[in-house]
A and B are shown apart, each in its own frame.
Chain A
Amino acid sequence: MQHWLRTVGIAAVGAAIAASLSWISTPVSGQGSTYKAPRAIGTPNPDLNGIWQALNTANYDLQTHIARPAMALRPGPYGPVPAAPVLALGAVGAAPGGLGVVDGDEIPYKPEALAKKKKNQEEWLTSDPEIKCYLPGLPRATYMPFPFQILQSSRAIFFAYEYAGATRNIYLKDPGPPPVDSWMGQSVGRWEGDTLVIETRGFNDQTWFDRSGNHHSEQLQVVERFTRTAPDHMQYEATITDPQVFTRPWKISMPLYRRIERNAQLMEFKCVEFVEELMYGMYRKNPLPR
């Protein structure tokens, strides 16, 4: 009996050591975080107020990607080179590398939808809605290279994005099916313990998930999970479901970082005025050379 207990005891200690080692080797994630965020005043929920920003290259490509000369390429004698319209940007127009944010690094397209993605990539410069500063949709709004602000009161949750001045009011009571489609969808939020869960539907089919042509239909539904993991870190996960485009739901995840400058705030980036020359310059009375 004693011998058996000792064996069990050794095994238990061994298991505990193994578990702690695997914890060290696992990339930091929200799961298993023991951080307990301060409560938002007057609520039992963690305080998500603040200015947050993703720090990765997901907006270039959700999947693992190496650096390349430009997002718009053409064949060169020894491999792709920047397409003529972006050539003058030089290294400024180059795209950095990054590890993917997709679970399993695979986006489960249906065959025809994958073909559309490739077509999107070929026509990136004229097709990516980001080029025209259109509203970014979800989850792209989260990882645009711009900060966003979460306002959380005892009665409301609101997201203000610097990019394109996009906004999202998060309904805390489901108002019913969205009457029409929209760029940012209709969001309903709830708490699961210390995780804010936001379900969004009612998207149009116009937004992309990144600059690499990843796309969706009007059947898109996105479930996001926001969990504070440290004073200035938040874990973000988004599960994407779209039965018209994908064979199954798939998930992205990434940390969000608090902008901790003393005077951190959103700057203005309406960006509509920046694309007027692109979109309407040909209709000037005296058009500039294009």
Chain B
Amino acid sequence: MSGQLRRRYQRLLFTYPTNYRAAHGEEILSTLLEAARPTQRWPSLRESTSLLLGGLRLRARQSAKESPTRLWTDGLHLGVLLVVLVNLGHALQMQFPLWIVLVAVGALAVLRGWGRTALAATAIAALAVARPLLPHIGLPWWLPGYGDWSAVGRYLWPAVVLAVLAWPGVARLRPRSWWWLLLPAAQAALPLTEQPWSLVKAGAEMGLLLAVLVVAAGALDPRPAIAAAVYLVPGLLYAAESIAEGPPSTLALGYWMALAVLTATLAATAWRIRRQQLTQH
């Protein structure tokens, strides 16, 4: 009983920043378990709400103490991580082993915060996929090539963001959790380009982005909003190219328009949060 309840409360504590959890997690869990009824198996609504709000408030306070450079670095880093992980998921579905290695090296370097290695690997990948559009560059047999700019953009965009992050004076990249690797693994395992998985993916993406908006606004932290905006850029490039090539389906148009509105809202939210933080301190 107590073990189950403990695990459930432990999950709720994930709303708190890692450093706070390390210092106070055990203590809070003990208090929660002492306050629980002897037969209780599920966290009460009152305690759950209080933990969620407490975690968000603490994140807001910690975020307000961070420098703007740190916030931008973390936000851009998280956004670029999402893009390279999705690219890795795509690569894993292809028949180019060396290409998979190149994209995986880039993704791992972004994940662990090795900025220069990540920039080198993603820049090579971007150049490689752009070969059909740049005829004078030789075509190594072990790399796939794309003939459309939106696909190239998916690889070029992370290289651009990483080049910004490699600029002198930008804060150091923080290593991210290995758990992120579940994202490309799931993407490679599920047929996401086929129905109904593509709809499930689109729905999950929308739901997550809306959740990011709520969390960012609740925690007064612009980082999730910056990250989500970075993640959405390749999708918007693809939408722009699809529209330029011919009239897209109503469903596709609705989806891309919703993404565009979300991107704009995320950017505005990040801006508003930072202004709010500056006026509070």
Q: Do A and B come from one complex?
A: no
